[in-house]
Amino acid sequence: MTTSEQESTEPAVLVDVSADAVWITLNRPAALNSITPDMVAGINAALARADDPAIKAVVLQGTGRAFCAGADLKYVKRATQGDEAATARFLDTVLDMMTRLENCPRPVIAAVNGLALAGGLELVLCCDLVIAARSAKIGDAHANFGLLPGGGSSVRLPRKIGPTRAKYLLFTGDFVPADELVACGLVNEVVDDSELTAAVERLVAKLGSKSSLVLRRMKALVADGLEQPKDVALRLELLASELHAHSHDMKEGLAAFEAKRKPSFTGR
């Protein structure tokens, strides 16, 4: 979290569409990319771009020294002073944005540089894959300021890394080096700081070679399966596979295998 009040005329979120991916850049570096309503609106608008069938992945990254240091506490104090309804409205918009990010039909990659704290951690938890710079540090940090999570860390973090590890991060507010979070599954890969963008680009290229239909359906199966008993989840997977057998991309994949060529997927 940050208490910086420095403002900028630059947009809070930058969006670039290239190489089959939507790149979303949090752009409040002087405030450690802390979250304001403008940033929430910018992320929501960027996620709408991912509805394009040509998009294979979404990348979320930050400018400057941080990925995201959580909610902008100066904004929260100034805008919600004495107004509990305003606080509730802000938290509602943040949670809604986090849910949209988590439910994005494309694989979402977090490229974590610097600090990812509180709401920054909650953004990371809504992403499917996490590539972190070696200098990155990740933590919940709400307890450090007498706050409760409002963007889902008390719910998503235990599901991701287990309740015991989650409670440690929640209770202590510690900033943990990214490489210590690989073993528990919160981070997929840690790379040298100078290699972060290149590593993410390689992953985007790898995803870009796949069927966007397959990626979307796989993501949905994993999400649904986590919320269902094992036998129900297996039946859902079987039904999805039977439906998928009618898709162009499955037929194209089998034809390419037989012809010993690369498949040309269309996402349908």
| Residue 196 near residue 59, CB atoms below 8 Å | no
CB 214 within 8 A of CB 245: no
Task: Please check whether residue 119 is in contact with residue 167, taking contact to mean a CB–CB distance below 8 angstroms.
Answer: no
As assigned by CATH, the class of the 13-208 domain is: alpha beta
Domain boundaries, the chain: 13-208, 212-259
Q: How many CA atoms lie within 13 A of 71 on its CB side?
A: 25
- Backbone angles phi and psi of 160, in degrees to 5: -85, -45
Q: Tell me what pLDDT residue 20 has.
A: 87
The label of the residue with tokens 């992953």 reads 203
Residues 3 and 112: their CA atoms lie apart, in Å, by 21
Print pLDDT tens along the chain (268 aa).
Answer: 444 444 567 899 999 998 789 999 999 999 999 999 999 999 999 999 998 888 999 999 999 999 999 999 888 878 767 677 888 899 999 999 999 999 999 999 999 999 999 999 999 999 999 999 999 999 999 999 999 999 999 999 999 999 999 999 999 999 999 999 999 999 999 999 999 999 999 999 999 999 999 999 999 999 999 989 999 999 999 999 999 999 999 999 999 999 999 999 999 9
Closest by alpha carbon to 63, among 35, 32, 36? 32
Task: Give pLDDT, residue 82.
Answer: 66
